[in-house]
Amino acid sequence: MLTGLRQAVQEQLAQVPAKRKPALRRTDDPRALLMCDLPRIADEAAVMSFVAALEAEGWRVWQETGWLLLDHAVPASEMVWPEAYTGESGCCLWLLRQHPGDAPAEAYIRALVKAAEVGRQRVEWLCSQWHGEFAARLREHLPLPGGLAPYLAKVMKEEEK
Which tens digits make up the pLDDT trace of 52-78?
A: 999 999 999 999 988 999 999 998 777
- Give me the pLDDT at residue 127, please: 96
Mean of the per-residue pLDDT values for the chain?
91
Domain ranges of the chain: 2-71, 87-160
| Sheet with 34-36, side-by-side order of all strands | 24-26, 34-36, 67-71, 60-64
Pairing of strands 67-71, 60-64: antiparallel
- Give me the pLDDT at residue 161, please: 60
Which tens digits make up the pLDDT trace of 137-160?
A: 999 999 999 899 999 998 888 776
